[in-house]
Structure 1
């Protein structure tokens, strides 16, 4: 894909020029090794390519977790957020709160960051994480 190659080349060039890359939220990751030659430079280039993507995903999930946490407290839910695994959140939800919590979580995750394309969140239910998939 030519767009992917262009992204990679432009990101590496920017990292070499500035010495860092940023997430969409502006969080910086400094990469002094990008100026070196050899394996250290190649490693820094991989980090430069991945950080804007993976770092932005991390920013997004953190913002969603904060918003969800505040709403669960402010709206007096008994539901507890118990675990984050990459881009997934695991909750302990009383049966009577399932529908409302599902809507709340979906809403807050989908609006955690303003993006050019819509962010679609899927939900799942089960007695354990495996069943929820």
Structure 2
């Protein structure tokens, strides 16, 4: 986010917004390194990719128009992270589907909401199926940092939170 954007969102002076951004990158220099390396990779190769190798091509990354290139740069920064999250969810859905099927469970996967999967849980299976679902989701993609899955149970999505 730019100092201007942060100024608008927080309703603070631009100088203060700029200071917040600088302090953030000073405290977390690896974030700046990630951003710079990711944009440089995108400029050289014309794409970025998720942890699973799925590519997002960025035809405008080397545009002469600064405004157009800036949009592509933001996509370059966000796509590997957001795309990997989407990949993990899809892989988790596949693993859960197979686990439910092989266990002959009556519980059904209904839909996704952002990074969550909503199920129609057969109450009699609750003690058995919830750990099966959690394990299937947590093992969707093996990474250096283990995935943590939280579960909630309720009569509706709101109650489950």
* TM-score, with structure 1 as normaliser: 0.97
Whether 2:75 is the aligned partner of 1:47: answer: yes
Residue in 2 that maps onto 1:91: 119
Structure 1 position 52, deviation (Å): 0.6
Aligned equivalent of 2:109, options 64, 81, 102: 81
**Which stretches of structure 1, 4 residues or longer, exceed 4 Å deviation after superposition?**
none
Deviation at 1:87, TM superposition (A): 0.9
Is contact 2:99-2:133 (8 Å) kept?
A: no
Structure with bigger gyration radius: 2
Larger RCO: 1 or 2 (CA < 8 Å, sep 6+):
1
Paired residue total: 133
Q: Which runs of 5+ in 2 are unaligned?
A: 1-27
Q: Which runs of 5+ in 1 are unaligned?
A: none
Deviations 1:62-95 (A, max 9, x none): 0010111112112111111001011101000111
CA separation in 1, counterparts of 2:123 and 2:107?
Answer: 10
2:132 to 96, 104, 124: 104
